Amino acid sequence: MALSTETSTPAEAARLPVGRRALLALSRLWAWAFLLLLILFFVASVPIFSGISFLSIRNSQNILIAIVPVLLLALGQTFVIISAGIDLSVGWVMSLASVLSALALRDSFDAGVPLPLAVLLGFCAAVLGAGAVGCINGIIIAKLKVPAFIVTLGSSFIVRGLALLWSENTTVVGLPDGVRAYGNESLVYLVSGDHPAFSVFAPPTLTGDMLRHMDRILPWPVVVTIVVVGMAMFLLHRMQFGRYTYAIGGSMQASLRAGIPVDRHIIKLYTLSAVTAGIGGFLSMLQFTAGSASIGDPLLLSSIAAVIIGGVSLFGGAGTVIGTVIGALIIAVLTTGLVMLNVPAFWQFIVVGAVVIIAVLIDQSRELIVGRHAGGSQ
């Protein structure tokens, strides 16, 4: 029963020849090295071809904002894929959560509920609605033994229909003006130029040209995502929940023999996956001050790509949260850098697809490095 977070244990790695050990280390660290090379490449090339800086504060914050929805979808997907499952419904679950939160927020505020409480009700609607979908997915997968691919594919169509139905096939608008502050204000504000200023929680009083020199650092959606990432790391790497997840992905039959409540845990995993997607839908609603029934649809494949690039094994039993974060950063840095170089959008898809294929090949090579040595030593 595999309980480790790696493809091989330290003892197994120590028995490998020096050359294979180096290849194994490289296969584990390639995403970090690739991200560093990407940043260095864009730092050198963007000023030459576009005349602007890639490492500016504003651009770095744009990258962080861009990875928020993808990363929130990918976090839940990380747990599911480590358990040797898949969740194809998260994109539309995010869209449903966006619609539900917008409707709950707007209707409660119109009924006289104070704005902060209305925002909280919108959050509850997003999380509970998304969690219900994930729970149903988990029950069908765990109790009825229907493959996760089929269940989540079917539920994605159902959720899509519900999102379009409840939004009346249009964007949910009419939200209070103050909602925009929750999704677009930042933790820290920095003003450069002739009148430098620094402020936390609230923007400083600005006039004239000072507005053009103000940088927002750590927007609230990014802060929330950092908190969720920290909770996911603690859950996966420090709690029994994480050990059960690795064990089920390593061998479901061995997990059953070890007394792990596999069915119950699978239900929790798919519920968790939907909840993180629900948080993504809620934050997107705050950012755009509207509920969209299609906002999460194009993000599904990017979230799966982030998980794969981050080193989570498609065969289950291996992967880390920080790896998924690196995978999401690679996608965000890659697409942002190519946009700044004025590269057409279709090339962005081609490059990201190639990186995903390379990541899968590296994952398989890691299995071969350890497997061949194990086979040769018997």
Q: Minimal CA–CA distance to 79: which of 66, 63, 94, 90?
A: 90
Token couple for 328 = 């999401």
Residue 134 lies in a domain: yes
Query: Domain span at residue 232?
Result: 10-170+220-376
Other CB atoms within a 10 A radius of the CB of residue 33 amount to 10
Q: Is 205 helix (H, G, I), strand (E, B) or coil?
A: coil
Token couple for 265 = 């845990």
Residue 208 lies in a domain: no
Residue 213 lies in a domain: no
Residue 78 lies in a domain: yes
Number of domains in the chain: 1
pTM higher than 0.75: yes
Residue 351 lies in a domain: yes
Q: Minimal CA–CA distance to 95: which of 273, 287, 285?
A: 285
Residue 360 lies in a domain: yes
Domain at 262, CATH number: 1.10.3470
Residue 182 lies in a domain: no
**pLDDT tens for the chain, residues 1 to 378:** 334 444 444 444 455 555 556 666 666 678 888 889 999 999 999 888 887 888 888 888 888 998 999 999 999 999 999 999 999 999 999 999 999 999 999 999 999 899 999 999 999 999 999 999 999 999 999 999 999 999 999 999 999 999 999 998 888 888 888 888 888 888 887 777 666 666 776 666 666 566 666 777 888 899 999 999 999 999 999 899 999 999 999 888 888 898 889 999 999 999 999 999 999 999 999 999 999 988 988 888 889 989 988 888 888 888 899 999 999 999 999 988 888 888 888 888 888 888 888 887 877 776 665 554 444 433
Residue 214 lies in a domain: no
